[in-house]
Structure 1
Amino acid sequence: MASDDNFPPIKGTYNGINYYIQNGKQRQRKAGGGFTRESIKNNPKMQGVRDSNQELALCSRFNKNFKEALFPFINDLGDGTLHSRLMKLFMQIKTLDEAPVGKRTVVNGLCCDMGRKLLREFKFTKGPGTRDILGPIADLDTKTGVLKAVAFDPKRLKFPKGSTHFYLQYGVLEYNLKGNAFRFILNTDALVVAKEDEAKELVLEIPEKPKKGSAVFGVVKVQFYQKLPDRFYKSFAKGAVGIGVV
């Protein structure tokens, strides 16, 4: 394709000028602009990009460690979108940290009420969430790991078709601020709850106390089942699994 003055188009770099074709016209610009690995690393004007990359890397590492810690609860979800949805959540929580851009972290974002609220309201699955499972009032003792729900009511949950019971599991997610490490303390004894059970106060415990100085979150999981004469059968219906964070 020729240029407007019938000269053949020029493509490439010559004497510090980039020559290229855009929308059918010959254009040129000074070479050396744009995003390169070298410019991002050293150019003072790219400091904002470096800060964003640093925060993105920290958020990605937090997401990875978070999922690994919660593996006992999320390993069977089969949800390919969970990683990206959690990443979006943690990036949002990170912005609540009042540190300068480039040094903001998810952990500091979770230290404020809004950060914890966003995590509690996150929908891990299409099943019940924290409020559905525990009711409107749930209190977590971060020193002992004991979780109390004064208005626990099975009738609040929407049972998938054919389901008669659900198993309720409880664990405490502990994040060591200094060591940047997670630990999940799981109560391996699941509580079996029938659809017709009455409302009551629910008290959930873990086998050991969380360590001092850690960020502590209670995590509950429900899995619906159908009880037949021989045993319980797991439901694979939509909404048959629910996870909530306190």
Structure 2
Amino acid sequence: MAKLKSLIKIEGTLDGMTFYKGKNGYIVRTKGGVSKSRIQNDPAFIRTRENGTEFGQMAKSGKTLRQALTPMLADVKDGTLTARMMKTMAQIKNADTTSIRGSRNVAMGLTSNEGKALLKGFDFNGNAKLTSVLISDYLLNTTTGEISIASFIPLQQMNAPGGATHVSFMSGVLNLDFATGDKDLQWSPAQNVAINNTEQSVNMVPPAVPVGTGHTLYVFKMSFYQDINGIQYSLNNGSFNVLHIIEIL
């Protein structure tokens, strides 16, 4: 790699050399690396092929989970989600102690208690973790998917973001087969609560609990709003909203 010192500033590839602009000026480097054909066929790169296969499977599993939760995830904003989920999927894949190297996968990893424990507690918004936002006990009924909070006082039992006047609670149950992609998501109506000192009970019950060949994930969502002249607006486009996996069976 070398710096380009010339009155002519170019970017792109020319005669096997790549020109581009870096933070320290224009850079030029020669094309290098191992050819795609060699990586795909040379026995010396078998480990590389195995790692690549597992990497692709992990990325697919993360995407499958995010897409399955789209109705609840759409207004939960975090630019680090894909990278954080990829890290978690890699750990779950490593919990697959049955498949041979190159074929280890998330679906098999989740059949173990270790794999389930790695996914349980995942926050889809790293900037709004449930354990940091909600300062209250809650109960989950895995038979019905109901999440309940008794005697909840918003101003005392929650760290609400500045400007929020209301919060909505929602529970969701997802049956997802990571091997086939088959999914069924059921979510409760949102229970909207004013952020004040009024004590009340919060109960979120999905219309049904999905069944299927996959794992059942229970998720807890909190969405924050600001009331302006009687209309509630999503606070900061959802960057403070919580979506958390509280259990996986």
Q: Same fold (TM over 0.5)?
A: yes
Pair 1:190-2:190 in alignment: yes
What is the RMSD of the two structures over their aligned residues, measured on CA atoms? 3.0
Question: Is contact 2:75–2:241 with CA below 8 Å preserved after alignment?
Answer: no
SS in 2 for 1:121: coil
Question: Is contact 2:147–2:203 with CA below 8 Å preserved after alignment?
Answer: yes
Pair 1:112-2:104 in alignment: no
| Aligned-residue offset at 1:115 | 2.9
**Which residue of 2 is the match for residue 179 of structure 1?**
180
**Which residue of 2 is the match for residue 18 of structure 1?**
none
CA distance in 2 between counterparts of 1:130 and 1:217 reads 18
Q: Letter of the aligned partner of 1:170 in structure 2?
A: S
CA distance in 2 between counterparts of 1:135 and 1:120 reads 19
Question: Is contact 1:169–1:222 with CA below 8 Å preserved after alignment?
Answer: yes
SS in 1 for 2:221: strand
CA distance in 1 between counterparts of 2:180 and 2:245 reads 22
**Which residue of 2 is the match for residue 219 of structure 1?**
219
**Which residue of 2 is the match for residue 230 of structure 1?**
230
SS in 2 for 1:102: coil
Pair 1:39-2:38 in alignment: yes
Q: Letter of the aligned partner of 1:163 in structure 2?
A: A
Q: Deviations over 1:41-99 (max 9, x none)?
A: 33333222222111111111112221211212222344332222211221122111112
CA distance in 2 between counterparts of 1:129 and 1:119 reads 15
Q: Letter of the aligned partner of 1:116 in structure 2?
A: K
CA distance in 1 between counterparts of 2:73 and 2:37 reads 40
Question: Is contact 1:225–1:232 with CA below 8 Å preserved after alignment?
Answer: yes
**Which residue of 2 is the match for residue 158 of structure 1?**
159
> Which has more radius of gyration?
1
* Structure 1: gaps of 5 or more residues: 1-33
Q: Letter of the aligned partner of 1:169 in structure 2?
A: M
| Aligned-residue offset at 1:119 | 2.5
CA distance in 2 between counterparts of 1:184 and 1:134 reads 27
* Structure 2: gaps of 5 or more residues: 1-32
Pair 1:85-2:84 in alignment: yes
Q: Deviations over 1:173-206 (max 9, x none)?
A: 211356332332223x211123324365x54322
CA distance in 2 between counterparts of 1:113 and 1:131 reads 25
Q: How many residues align?
A: 209
Percentage of matched positions with identical amino acids: 26
| Aligned-residue offset at 1:135 | 4.5
How high is the TM-score relative to the length of structure 1? Answer: 0.71
Q: 1:98 to 1:156 in 2, by over 3 A?
A: farther
